[in-house]
Structure 1
């Protein structure tokens, strides 16, 4: 991904899509932070997280139109241990299948906990086990709530050029206060967004992303094309008449184009362009979205033809992050 030039205005530099993968950092964060958890019972009982065994999943920080969004879905496995009222050392394992943006911030579902007791059962041991099951989740969820903030605090500066990024997804403050109008002389010296030069010949490639969703093809087609339903998964205003030769706009204007053709519940084709300084001026790609319904899920494939060479990885990440992850965020579930 190309570095942002210091001279580029913040409002322009922050406009286009950017993603940063922070999975290795995230695993270290879980290993360090969860191992600090320790809770006490009403007597001398103590239960602690002793080790994070594994963190399986991907963690990214994304920026879209000056908004920072955490994108993560992890399975966390850990070991816990404690001392029962009779002094017995007790050990066990715990798996949390989903620690994600949807659970932590959106509250679309509750955390699930899969408990295992590895110490031989006894009344005192069982009592400690019940204590662990009753009180460890509260401490864990408090830590999980700190995770998205930690991602932005640590990595937000690498994506945002301007003031403090918002943890709630609202735009970062502009360089000039809206309540103060610059003087004529100040306006003359204020940097203006760089004008993109037309690219007469753009070498391109094709990017394809697909995912399975627990929904019918009819419902997914409507979610992807209905102006009223699109904001549910994009978290931004949308324009979409869903008719051939009509304009559409997604992600608050981050993506624009026209519908070319629509075959309800099966396929629709759109022209597609980013509102971004990195996207060649007047260049338009073609996005074909196909839906293939199976017995218990529907496979959606996004095929984007005309991606400028050098942008393939960035566009793939963003199709996965904003389209696939967006649909997953409303509870449809997906398998990448």
Structure 2
């Protein structure tokens, strides 16, 4: 038997103020079933597609059967979800004739790729044939897959906050937000909206800045934004990152794209940055400045040329899906400035 204080450090808990799950070594599990059920209804109900034949809309999600959970083992998150979904849709032709139909997704699970997901669309009994059926079967099914892909992204970002605790370095537990922020379907981490066309109209823009403090060195924090595997870790999704001047990046399932314009190791990153829902070729200029504060690093984020209409979403995105996510993933939590 080991003497007091000489045991395996993975099991020593007195270094944490809350004495809980040091270094994320113990298995923890969070039930995401109720949250998922509500989120799936929110993403699907009201979803619509239209063309010159008319419009189709999902009016009700009539069945959400299944379960979802997240497990944390040794700092690694493992996702499980399995759902059988049924919904009702209605179509309205350009002449005003209404049609009713059903939709089913029998195999939404972590074992199936989204491209292979079955979306079964049908017309209600005794409904006559209509071109709107083909609209819903093709474009509607595509939109449903996008919405469900958004659910998976939100499950891996919004619902996982606080699952990975900081390591035993004196950092306090990151507190979860006390107010629930309703997610826009075009938030970071979702992919429900295609890029809009370039209208050629000048849009009003604004600028804003943020500051945050991280319990790590400028070099380590600088690398988090440029090393592809580290970016994938805190975004919980595939990413493309070319860490050089002129290099491109693509994050959050393609909802954020851009290009690095200036890279000064340990000091500064300047990038062209945009949501894919912004007008084509419109980019904000984002400057990240890293300041060494001894045992901490102060990060200054300056965003210029952000569309006025997207200021709040962009600000929240940087706070939540960059700063908070980095702290929770790598244990860099420190006081907010």
TM-score (norm 1): 0.49
Larger Rg: 1
RCO comparison, higher one (Cα < 8 Å, 6+): 1
TM-score (norm 2): 0.49
